Structure 1
Amino acid sequence: MAGSFETVGVVGLGTMGAGIAECFARAGIAVIGVEAGPEALTRGRGHLEDSTGRAVAKGRLSEAERSEILGRVTLTVSLEDLADADLVIEAVPEVMDFKRALFTDLDRICKPSAVLATNTSSLSVTEIAATTGRPGRVIGMHFFNPAPVMRLVEVIHTLITDDGLAGEVADLARRLGKTPVTVGDRAGFVVNRLLLPYLNHAAVLLENGVATRDGIDTAMRLGAGLPMGPFALLDLIGLDTSYEVLSVLFRESHDRRHAAAPILRERVAAGLLGRKSGGGFHRASEPVAPTADEPSACLVAVLGEGGDAFAARLSAAGLKSVPVEDAEVVVALSSVPVVELAPGLPHPERLVGLHLVGDQVAEVASTALTGPEVARAAEGLVRLVGLVPVPCRDRAEFVVDALLYPYLNDAVRMYDSGYATRDDIDTAMRLGCGYQTGPFEKLDELGLETVRDGLRALYAEYREPFLAPAPLLEQLVAAGVRSFRDLP
């Protein structure tokens, strides 16, 4: 079926469009690349030549293969040259008016059997399709940047997509060497609908002073095992791009989770857009913050489940545990806030919470009473036993779980809504974001009840509706289901 797509048009030859054109040409498909004018066309040709040139330099293509790929691409400034294309995919800016106007023109120019595809990352495919006389032949085909390298393609069908067309386009993606996931038409589809609220939530935690920028990035990279922290990733994506995707999500959902955090909105307004502008949440050539000194001597009391093991680690590092009344620092190992322990202590200002995340990170939680010097001393203790401290406030689920659990909750809601399968959601997040595990794999790893209880704690503290456990998650835990793998 995918073999019927033998001539493909690509409209818009920026970095993304040129990458898409290269993907088709690499698969032996004739490509007609269209740009608005001669200068843009020259830039598009440059993108193609540079990308394939880098592949040659890295030994991934031979010079002969590169010549064959470039020879399959015909460049033009006329949409009329797309009249005989079997499929046309657009990669123009993410502005609905631009896309609707383009699809009106393509509908007039292209043969009736041609499929018109949009590479939009978040806009409504249905709304784009409605501008044409062939809404059943309009589909989403969302590549990820850089297109020649990233394996994922989201194939988006609408309520009126012709039967079988999504399958044909998915087969075409496989012909390109990609892994397709087929999803319904919801703002943000799978990857952006799960990723952007998580990034936005990180910005909210920063704005609320729960932890620092670097602390949150470190916690999610080393503690949660993600390739990048949320603020490094926001700077890479572009704060303006992230803001626009959140705006699209919010217009559809009116969910506060999708309302851009003021700290993000203000940076966009100030032109701090990330790497593209030289600074966003991070600045170019930013000095590295100095690491605090390890404590030379400290009397420590260790409380909580796992306290004996942690005390043994301190002892191996040369520190001796003492009773609470003699301690300069009281460390309470806990996965929940520890402030309720404070009234029972002789010196409540010496109490800090310690939440061990994986085998590299310890979240060091200061209560409303904790003295700054005590928090610094606790961070030094953590370093002394070979862990990376992440200072934070004594709030429900601290940092990692406060960001991870709502993301997993969103995935459950997405699956329950019926517009993507569990396997496709897991595949999309692993391939689209570079995560080691998909959200349902992570849910099974952590335990459904653990995540449900964490969400309940977050909702009890913050009272945000999106933090309430998804009904399906509540039902599965109530029914004694331990893993999504146990579902049919």
Structure 2
Amino acid sequence: MTRSFEKVGVVGLGTMGAGIAEVFARAGLGVTGVEADPAALERGRGHLEGSTGRALAKGRLTEAERAEILGRVTFTTSLEDLADADLVIEAIPEVMDFKRALFTDLDRICKPSAVLATNTSSLSVTEIAATTARPGQVVGMHFFNPAPIMKLVEVIHTVTTEDGLAEEVAALARRLGKTPVSVGDRAGFVVNRLLLTYLNHAAVLLENGLATRDDIDAAMKLGVGLPMGPFTLLDLIGLDTSYEVLCVLFQESRDRRHAPAPILRELVTAGLLGRKAGGGFHRDEEPGGPPPTVKPSVGSVAVLGEGAEEFTAKLSAAGFKTASAEAADVVVALSRNPVIELAAGLPHPERLVGLHLVGDGVAEVASTVLTSAEAARAVEGLVRIVGRTPVRCRDRAEFVVDALLYPYLNDAVRMYDSGYATVEDIDSAMRLGCGYPSGPFEMLDELGLETVRDGLRALYAEYREPSFAPAPLLDQLVTAGVRSIRDLP
């Protein structure tokens, strides 16, 4: 049957729940908002009035439109008022026992035809549905914060979801002006499963001393074009929230990359939860801003590797003298790979610094175990003079950007190959849910499957992390000469 969703209930009117209620009211649906007690109810009302008030002040709503939206929402502390709702969405805290208890009550109260939805960001929808006598009518409907602005909605179906229900809920999301993506019931769904794994990996690399917090942030923001670096984003999300999602992921997968990095656990234990607590990976009192550009005192430079001629020309134009690798004060080795073997073959290995140019604005400055601090600082200065941001790192496989990017892309291939989300939905989810400039499969097409496969092999050879091994599908595509995963029949 085709359902008509006209009366909607929202349980939990925190920032997210109030935002969801606003989304439905903006689309012309009647909404009943439920909170646990009068004080929480008034806070929920305040969230809704504040959000619509800001939209009014910015000219996005008229007074009449705001009044209509607020008039469509009824506030109550009684779940019994949801008896005639066509759809009920819960947005209560991410505690499974709380959600299961609530769904048991909703199953008793709501009419038999009502669809029950959870806004969980990572918990098992199947486990929640099993609490009810109507598991076929339970879905996930994961909105993103702030719900009135963010376009993405993950629609999660389980093995018991009735045929066609996920499509009807997706159609409802489109009616709300959102872009739905259909996802199977796996911990973290699409966005959190890919995003939190990448963020956790960044924390592990920080702990391992590959690069500093600020260098990793700069590498991913300026080198890949992401809206913000991983540590800035972790602080924005909240370290406690990130830790909890990773615990859910690890509980399901037992993949070491889902186990929260020790530094993340330590910060959470210390109460350093991110922006909301005044500090996390970044502290509010820390000075900001890049260091001033100072011309390095280098007598002569040698540039080796692919692209050496062009880079040498830029240095010459900036007034630097060039020399042979044997005679130069500093040797720059342009490379995508570790350069320690090259350094070991020079008469002055301490003068060699690896340099990996990323995009148009970043250069990874890789120091080997033999590189002197003076040579590394000199190359940082050279990089700034030619208009790039230096990212200091150790001489490790794939340096920083690719060491973070390639496993993320590999995870996306595994996700698609497992069959619980399509290429298009995964790309849409990461663009709309994270603000990424492109989805993982669009990045794969741009970088080339073979380049990513070979980079993963290098990462696996160095770190011996099983999940760094190329996904079987990726390996097979490269072997078969397929240029894009979209070319599959």
Any unmatched runs of 5+ in structure 2? Answer: none
d(CA) in 1 for partners of 2:344, 2:20 = 62
Q: Which residue of 2 aligns with 1:357?
A: 358
Q: Which residue of 2 aligns with 1:439?
A: 440
Q: Encode CA deviations 1:419-445: one digit per residue, 9 max, x unaligned.
A: 000000000000000011100010010
The yes-or-no answer on 1:264 pairing with 2:267 is: no
d(CA) in 2 for partners of 1:468, 1:213 = 26
Q: Which residue of 2 aligns with 1:72?
A: 72
Q: Which residue of 2 aligns with 1:161?
A: 161
Q: Which residue of 1 aligns with 2:449?
A: 448
d(CA) in 2 for partners of 1:235, 1:9 = 32
Q: Encode CA deviations 1:65-85: one digit per residue, 9 max, x unaligned.
A: 000000000000000000000
Q: Which residue of 2 aligns with 1:106?
A: 106
TM-score for both structures, normalised by structure 2: 0.99
The yes-or-no answer on 1:132 pairing with 2:137 is: no
d(CA) in 2 for partners of 1:342, 1:147 = 53
Q: Contact between 1:2 and 1:175, CA under 8 Å: does it hold in 2?
A: no
Q: Contact between 1:3 and 1:172, CA under 8 Å: does it hold in 2?
A: no
d(CA) in 1 for partners of 2:476, 2:243 = 34
d(CA) in 2 for partners of 1:3, 1:48 = 27
d(CA) in 2 for partners of 1:210, 1:406 = 16
Q: Which residue of 1 aligns with 2:119?
A: 119
Q: Which residue of 2 aligns with 1:299?
A: 300
- 1:403 alignment partner, SS class: helix
Q: Contact between 2:166 and 2:182, CA under 8 Å: does it hold in 1?
A: yes
Q: Number of aligned pairs?
A: 488
TM-score for both structures, normalised by structure 1: 0.99
Q: Which residue of 2 aligns with 1:348?
A: 349
Matches within 5 A, 1:206-285: 206-285=206-285
Q: Which residue of 1 aligns with 2:310?
A: 309
d(CA) in 2 for partners of 1:127, 1:90 = 15
Residue 298 of structure 1, CA deviation: 3.3
Q: Encode CA deviations 1:193-215: one digit per residue, 9 max, x unaligned.
A: 00000000000110011000000
Matches within 5 A, 1:456-467: 456-467=457-468
Residue 483 of structure 1, CA deviation: 1.2
Any unmatched runs of 5+ in structure 1? Answer: none
Q: Contact between 1:221 and 1:228, CA under 8 Å: does it hold in 2?
A: yes
d(CA) in 2 for partners of 1:244, 1:298 = 53
Q: Contact between 2:367 and 2:376, CA under 8 Å: does it hold in 1?
A: yes
d(CA) in 1 for partners of 2:291, 2:392 = 15
Q: Contact between 2:298 and 2:329, CA under 8 Å: does it hold in 1?
A: no
The yes-or-no answer on 1:41 pairing with 2:41 is: yes
Q: Which residue of 2 aligns with 1:394?
A: 395
Amino acid at match of 1:186: R
Residue 387 of structure 1, CA deviation: 0.7
d(CA) in 1 for partners of 2:30, 2:3 = 12
Residue 3 of structure 1, CA deviation: 6.5
d(CA) in 2 for partners of 1:294, 1:65 = 58
The yes-or-no answer on 1:14 pairing with 2:27 is: no
Q: Which residue of 1 aligns with 2:152?
A: 152
Residue 293 of structure 1, CA deviation: 2.6
Amino acid at match of 2:233: L
Q: Contact between 1:122 and 1:187, CA under 8 Å: does it hold in 2?
A: yes
d(CA) in 2 for partners of 1:256, 1:181 = 27
d(CA) in 2 for partners of 1:264, 1:293 = 35
Residue 292 of structure 1, CA deviation: 5.9
Residue 291 of structure 1, CA deviation: 3.7
Q: Encode CA deviations 1:281-313: one digit per residue, 9 max, x unaligned.
A: 001132126346321443111001111110001
Residue 320 of structure 1, CA deviation: 1.5
Q: Encode CA deviations 1:219-257: one digit per residue, 9 max, x unaligned.
A: 000001101000000000000000000000000000001
Q: Encode CA deviations 1:250-281: one digit per residue, 9 max, x unaligned.
A: 00000001000001110000000000000000
Distance 1:42 1:173, change over 3 A: same
d(CA) in 2 for partners of 1:380, 1:186 = 47
Matches within 5 A, 1:404-415: 404-415=405-416
Q: Encode CA deviations 1:121-160: one digit per residue, 9 max, x unaligned.
A: 0000000000000000000000000000000000000000
Amino acid at match of 1:131: T
Q: Encode CA deviations 1:359-412: one digit per residue, 9 max, x unaligned.
A: 100000000010111100110010111111000000000000000000000000
Q: Contact between 1:141 and 1:154, CA under 8 Å: does it hold in 2?
A: yes
- 2:141 alignment partner, SS class: strand
